[in-house]
């Protein structure tokens, strides 16, 4: 079974779009299900804007790809973790564990290892996706440097790769982040509410009003570009898309408690239902004990069916 899985991953890798190809086009790409051997139904899937190397699979079942995307400087990686039985359901739920550091740095721990340690991918039947970035990840596109297009990289390289490896007609995508990547989780769902189902943020500087701190200056570059991603502005402009169902979770009050409380207050004023947990005082790191609760909250918000459960109202504390 494992050899079949690796062989199928290799075949997929060889058929992915290469760096330097024309702009990605929508292409029909029937994929073989590694677990059952059945051929997919010819889903229309986007091309992957990257050169993708052969996969490396470790003893835990984690699959690692080295990739070269036109939207990043040099080589980056993306790791996948799926339940042992695979992800053969009619609909896959993807959990995107967003990094807070560039490359393979892990001063603040490793979110994917936390998911593995708590077996959350098995408990909730999740396909977990953990990309890396060549620069400090703020999940924004630089206004002039084409090799620092972090949002585009995620949308045109990472998401299409996940969709090709685990094809499903109705992918459900969850975002998990803290600090920088908590900012990223929030801006991604606010800017792309049609692509992402729910986001959980732990201890993040969500009320930043200008670039510069926490290595953000070289990514946003200008105030004008920063304002395109400014969380407070995005919440006010896009509130209507988030009032019907609960899709946002706020947790933790370690380094950025004031930011989290101000965001909670703004969500309440805007009438946006959300989970708010302000009692979680843990170290500002992936491995301080908050990931399990955050993933449980995400899955609860996303629900177990293709439709979101109704939100219980603004400012729900748990």
50-317 folds as Rossmann fold (3.40.50)
Torsion sign (Cα): 191, 196, 197, 202: negative
Tell me the two tokens of residue 74: 């040099």
Per cent of the chain over pLDDT 70 is 78
Tell me the two tokens of residue 41: 């139904």
Q: Which of 13-27, 65-79, 103-117 has the lowest mean pLDDT?
A: 13-27
How far apart CA 125 and CA 83 sit, in angstroms, is: 6
Name the 3-class secondary structure at 133: coil
Q: What is the rounded (10 degree) CA torsion for 179, 60, 65, 176?
A: -20
Q: What global pTM score does this model have?
A: 0.84
Q: Is the pLDDT of residue 220 over 80?
A: yes
How far apart CA 230 and CA 294 sit, in angstroms, is: 23
How much is the average pLDDT of 277-297? 87
Domain ranges of the chain: 50-317
Report the DSSP pairing between strands 248-251 and 274-277: parallel
Beta bridge partners of 67: 52, 76
Q: What φ, ψ does residue 107 adopt, rounded to 5°?
A: -55, -35
Q: Please, what is the end-to-end C-alpha distance for the chain in angstroms? A: 42
Tell me the two tokens of residue 132: 């890396």
208 vs 281: which has the higher pLDDT: 208
- Which band of pLDDT confidence, cut at 50, 70 and 90, is reported for residue 300? very high
Q: Over the stretch 82-121, which tens digit does the pLDDT of each residue have?
A: 988 665 555 689 999 999 999 998 999 999 999 999 999 9
Tell me the two tokens of residue 184: 């990223």
Measuring CA to CA, how many Å separate 238 from each of 11, 178, 247?
Answer: 41, 22, 13
Q: Are 183 and 204 in contact (CB under 8 A)?
A: yes
How far apart CA 47 and CA 232 sit, in angstroms, is: 33
Residue 194: Cβ-neighbour burial (10 angstroms; 0-12, 13-18, 19+): exposed
Beta bridge partners of 93: 126, 172
The predicted pLDDT at position 43 comes to 54
Helix axes 257-270, 231-238, angle to 10 degrees: 20
How far apart CA 130 and CA 281 sit, in angstroms, is: 25
How far apart CA 289 and CA 301 sit, in angstroms, is: 20
């Amino acid at each position: 079974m494992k050899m079949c899985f690796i062989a199928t991953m290799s075949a997929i890798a060889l058929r992915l779009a290469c760096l330097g190809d024309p702009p990605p086009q929508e292409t029909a790409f029937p994929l073989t299900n590694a677990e059952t051997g059945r051929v997919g139904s010819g889903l229309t899937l986007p091309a992957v804007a990257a050169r993708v190397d052969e996969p490396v699979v470790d003893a835990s079942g984690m699959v690692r790809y080295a990739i070269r995307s036109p939207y990043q400087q040099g080589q980056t990686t993306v790791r996948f973790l799926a339940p042992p039985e695979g992800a053969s359901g009619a609909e896959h739920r993807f959990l995107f564990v967003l990094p807070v550091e560039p490359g393979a740095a892990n001063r603040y721990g490793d979110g994917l290892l936390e998911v593995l340690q708590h077996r959350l991918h098995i408990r909730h039947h999740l396909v977990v996706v953990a990309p890396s970035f060549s620069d400090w990840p703020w999940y924004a596109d630089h206004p002039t440097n084409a090799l620092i297009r972090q949002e585009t990289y995620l949308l045109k390289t990472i998401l299409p790769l996940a969709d090709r490896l685990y094809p499903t007609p109705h992918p459900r995508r969850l975002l998990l982040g803290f600090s920088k990547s908590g900012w990223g989780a929030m801006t991604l769902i606010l800017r792309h509410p049609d692509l992402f189902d729910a986001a959980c943020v732990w201890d993040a500087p969500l009320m930043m009003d200008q670039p510069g701190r926490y290595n953000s200056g070289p990514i946003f570059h200008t105030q004008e570009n920063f304002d395109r991603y400014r969380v407070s502005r995005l919440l006010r402009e896009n509130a209507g898309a988030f009032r019907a169902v609960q899709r946002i979770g706020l947790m933790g009050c370690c380094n950025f408690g004031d930011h989290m409380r101000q965001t909670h207050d703004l969500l309440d004023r805007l009438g946006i239902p959300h989970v708010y947990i302000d009692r979680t005082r843990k170290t500002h790191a992936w491995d301080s004990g908050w990931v399990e609760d955050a993933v449980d909250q995400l899955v609860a918000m996303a629900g177990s069916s293709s439709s979101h459960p109704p939100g219980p109202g603004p400012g729900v504390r748990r």
